[in-house]
Each structure stands twice: as C-alpha cells, then as structure tokens.
Amino acid sequence: MSSPDGGRSISAAEADRRWDAWTPGVVAERLDGCGVPWAVAGGWALDLFAGTISRAHADLEITVPRADFPQIAAAFPDLIHTT
C-alpha cells in the first residue's frame, strides 16, 4: 500500500524507530521572525520552568492564539498536506 503522495507505507515500529521529536529550540528557530505569540506547553513547559530536563520527551506541544494559527501553520509549509 502506498501513501497519497507516492511514498511507501511503513510499520508502526519503523515509524517509532525513525521518530525524532523536536525540542523547544527547534520550534523557536522555525518560528523566528513569525511575529505571532506562541509558547511551549505540556511536559517541555514544566521542564523549561524547572530549568532541568526531567525525562525524555516523545513530543512537543505549543500553544498559539486561535486567530494567529494560520501564520503559525505558514511557518511549517513542509508539514502541510493538501489533497
């Protein structure tokens, strides 16, 4: 089975092996110059507040004002999938 963009499907195990979650620094670089307020949320936010990494993080959440979401999404054109 192939994906809609012509790529090949991979197993969940392969996806887990390849996964490399972003850090807050990666998102900060991607959003540099965006001009929209955003903040790190969830587990990473707690670690940033505490000033230490408490555990490995498998994901990263950010929060943005709803009205500004289109500008945030535009900062990640390589992740937008259209059909």
Under a CB-based contact definition with an 8 Å cutoff, are residues 64 and 37 in contact? yes
Q: What total of structural domains would you count in the chain?
A: 1
Predicted structure pTM score: 0.72
Contact 24, 40 (CB under 8 A): yes
Q: Note whether residue 44 is domain-resident.
A: yes
Domain residues for the domain of 47 are 29-79
Q: How confident is the model at residue 81, as a pLDDT? A: 67
pLDDT of residue 77: 87
> Would you list the DSSP string of 6-39?
S-B---HHHHHHH--PPPHHHHHHHHTT--S--E
Q: Quote the percentage of the chain above a pLDDT of 90.
A: 61
Q: Is residue 3 part of a domain?
A: no
**In the prediction, which pLDDT does 19 show?**
84
CB atoms near residue 83 (< 10 Å): 4
| Per-state percent for the chain, helix, strand, coil, to nearest 5 | 45, 10, 45
Low-confidence residues of the chain: pLDDT under 50: 1
| 8: β partners | 2
- Is residue 42 situated within a structural domain? yes
Q: Does some domain include residue 19?
A: no
